[in-house]
Amino acid sequence: MSHVIHLVSYESPSGLTAELEKLDVPVVEILANNSVSSVCLALNSTGIDGPLIFIATAQTCRDLPVIASAQRAAHRAVISYALIDPDYPVSTDAWPNAPVSAYLSSPEHMGSRTISLRGVEVQGFITVTDLAGLIKVQVDAAQ
């Protein structure tokens, strides 16, 4: 069974976890406090062994390549990433190691940001309920 890990920050859409749970998407929230090591320790303390689907917002998305490397070292498979209004991570050999979808809250984001990662699916959303529905489709496809 896969596990959805929501890296929660002050930039995360309010109510996203609750909306996902309404759609029967089980979510574990981990506070993303600008410390990759604390995120990895928190994930380790959950006892989850994978496979994982990560949800991150804005600047937290920049941490995903390092988090992905740590998961690989811990022998946990990452099967999908959901980036919400991302500050796109730097492309490395370790990134992406799974399908990536970017969800943008306004058309301005689509025009003003450059997607530097190959194969990133980009979709827009208006409400948190819309976003939860899009992420549910991604989660179901990754299973």
Q: What is the pLDDT of residue 27?
A: 94
In the chain, domain spans = 3-142
CATH of domain 3-142: 3.40.50.1820
Range with top average pLDDT, 11-15, 59-63, 104-108? 11-15
Which three-class secondary structure state does DSSP give residue 7? strand
pLDDT in tens, 97-137: 788 888 988 766 554 455 545 567 888 899 999 999 999 99
Q: What is the pTM of this model?
A: 0.88
Q: To the nearest 5 percent, what fractions of the chain are helix, strand and coil?
A: 40, 25, 40
